[in-house]
Amino acid sequence: MSAGQTAKASPDRTGSWYEASARTRVRLLLDPGSFEEFIGPEQREISPHLKVFGLPEQFDDGIVVGRGLLDGAPVFVAAQEGRFMGGAFGEVHGAKLTGLLRAARDLKSISVLLLLDTGGVRLQEANAGELAIAEIMRAVIEARTAGVKVVGLIGGRSGCYGGGGLIAGCCSALAVSEQGRIAVSGPEVIETNRGVEEFDSRDRALVWRTMGGKHRRLLGGAELFSDDTVQGFRDAALDLLGSVADFGLDTLKAEQARLEDRLQRFGACPDAIDIWTAEGIADAASVPALPADQFIALADQVRRTSRDAR
């Protein structure tokens, strides 16, 4: 990086994270001009499986991986493009992330930011995608065991579903925006398999309050809630990188206790509103409509999310 670039004006980070492409998120999130991509689109490492189905390919297979600087500190970054194949994990897509995490594990000192935006496994290469997710989960745990912080940032179009939800659960910490739905089974999947009485996927309010970022923050499934801006996610990433604890057996024991406690306290609640009420929020029904700043203040008041139980 030359001196000329460090002198560059700071970029406009007020734009929507949700609306931005994976490349734009990476470019704006990191320090200006600092990003260096591994196996960029010019390498044309496309999926070998989509042509079997007559589907168009993307030169980066829907994920951007590389390194850059965040407030001067080196970080590895991976960003999924939620608009290409729903951000789903295929063979090449997944392998790029696996390789990045294994490098972080071996170097031990460089944190990883995962900009997740995914519907889960790419069904045209389902076996390869599922296995890629299993490899990524293992690589996240190996990296964390080696002392690496792996922070997930979730606020994209495709949310974070299927195996993506499990990868999110393996991270050291998560920041999520209201749009950043986190779940395993998506609304349509539940409805298709269990009927509309179990889950009405067209009831958007139900989807948001069951899987959306506000609920995940209030439940303790995400450490921080971010406004839907690049600046919001950048601030959250810096906060989390500075505060997450080491990973070890005590972390797992604390997580076991945290999840057992959640089941005991909220296991009989039929809806998110009931959980928020049980958490002591007086007007729980108003939560979905709260602006980000008011919600963050409320969330900090009712639940101080632990940073050492994940």
Partner 1 sequence: MTLADILTSLFPGGHDVRNDDGVLSGSGALRSGGRALVVGIADRTAVGIDEAIRLSRYVLDSIASGSGPILVIVDSDSQRMSKRDELLGLNEFLAHLAKCLIYADIHGRPAIGILYGHSAAGGFLATALATRVLVGLPGADPVVMDLPSMSKVTKLSIDILEEKAKSTPVFAPGLQNLAQTGAVHLTWDEATPLADQLEALLDDLPDARDRRDALGKERGGRLKAADIAERVHGLALQTR
Partner 2 sequence: MEDLSYRHIARQRAGGTRKIAVIGVVASGNLEVLAERNLPDAECLVEIKTAAEGFGEVWNAVIADFVERHSPGGVRFSINDGGARPDTVSLRLAQAARLMQEDDQ
Calpha distance 162→69 (Å, rounded): 30
Instruction: Judge whether 310 and 167 are in contact, CB under 8 Å.
Output: no
Nearest to 182, CA basis, from 202, 157, 145, 154: 154
SS3 6: helix
| Backbone dihedral angles phi then psi of residue 235, each to the nearest 5 degrees | -60, -40
What track of x and - describes contact with partner 1 for positions 35 through 64 (by CB under 8 A)?
---xx-----x--xx--xx-----------
User: Total residues contacting partner 2 (rule CB under 8 A)?
Assistant: 19
What track of x and - describes contact with partner 1 for positions 260 through 289 (by CB under 8 A)?
x-xx--xx-xxxx--x--------------
Dihedral sign from CA coordinates of 153, 155, 157, 162: positive
Nearest to 214, CA basis, from 151, 119, 303, 125: 303
Does position 269 interact with partner 2 (CB under 8 A)? The reply is no
> How near is the Cβ of 5 to partner 1 at its closest, in Å?
15
From the list partner 1, partner 2, none, which binds 184 (C-beta under 5 to 8 Å, kind-based)? Answer: partner 1
Q: Long-range contacts: 102-106, Cβ < 8 Å, 24+?
A: 102/139, 102/142, 102/143, 103/76, 104/76, 104/143, 104/146, 104/148, 104/150, 105/139, 105/142, 105/143, 105/145, 105/146, 105/148, 106/146
Q: Which of the ranges 22-30, 237-245, 250-258, 280-288 carries the binding residues for partner 1, by CB under 8 A?
A: 250-258
Within residues 21-40, the interface with partner 2 by CB under 8 A covers 21, 23, 33, 40
Residues 6+ apart with CB under 8 A from 27: 11, 35
Within residues 91-130, the interface with partner 1 by CB under 8 A covers 91-92, 94-96, 98-100, 102-104, 106-107, 110, 121, 123-130
Does position 204 interact with partner 2 (CB under 8 A)? The reply is no
Calpha distance 178→18 (Å, rounded): 10
Calpha distance 227→290 (Å, rounded): 12
Tokens of 245: 């604890």
> How near is the Cβ of 54 to partner 2 at its closest, in Å?
6
User: Total residues contacting partner 1 (rule CB under 8 A)?
Assistant: 87
Within residues 80-99, the interface with partner 2 by CB under 8 A covers 81, 83-84
**Residue number with CB closer to partner 2 (61 or 227):** 61
> How near is the Cβ of 76 to partner 1 at its closest, in Å?
6
> How near is the Cβ of 12 to partner 1 at its closest, in Å?
28
Does position 41 interact with partner 2 (CB under 8 A)? The reply is yes
User: DSSP letter at 53?
Assistant: G
> How near is the Cβ of 51 to partner 2 at its closest, in Å?
6
Binding site for partner 2 (CB under 8 A): 5, 21, 23, 33, 40-42, 44, 51, 54-60, 81, 83-84
